[in-house]
Amino acid sequence: MKSFPDGVNDLNNAEYVAWKRSHPDELIVNHVRSPRTHKFTLHRQGCHMVSFKKTALKKERNPKECFDSEAELLGWMVEKKGSPGLPLKGCWKCRTHKLANRMNKRLLEEEQR
Ligand SMILES: [Zn+2]
């Protein structure tokens, strides 16, 4: 797992680009923040929605968490238990809704132990 808390995209961070290149199957959780919300959205590597270009509306880069496996992602979710960012949201572009739902369900199961 690798965390990029300061916010990154393909254009501003060579370490992030290198990480993605060496972890082709990774899953990325993007922190989507607005004044009222803080959501965790799950993406697959290569999704265009993860790294948008800088526009007038979107000035800040979002922090990202990169995972090599679902088990690693679940471990992170357990740590983030109670966060307003959970449950995980799916991405319509890279179609992670089913996976996000499955991970949310696994987190609930984990909590009930
Ligand atoms: Zn996506």
**Where exactly are the structural domains of the chain?**
2-112
Indicate if the pLDDT at residue 28 is higher than 80.
yes
Q: How many C-beta atoms lie closer than 10 Å to residue 94's C-beta? A: 20
Mean pLDDT value across the chain? 84
Q: Are 21 and 14 in contact (CB under 8 A)?
A: no
Distance 30 CA to ligand 1 centre (A): 9
**Spacing, Cα 14 to ligand 1 middle (Å):** 20
pLDDT of residue 60: 64
* 18 CB-near residues (< 8 Å, 6+ apart): none
Query: Could you tell me what percentage of the chain is helix, strand and coil, using 3-state DSSP and rounding each to the nearest 5?
Result: 30, 20, 50
**Distance between Cα 32 and ligand 1 center (Å):** 12
Output the CA 113–ligand 1 centroid distance in Å.
Answer: 31
Cα(103) to centroid of ligand 1, in Å?
16
pLDDT at 53: 55
Confidence of residue 57 (pLDDT cuts 50, 70, 90): low
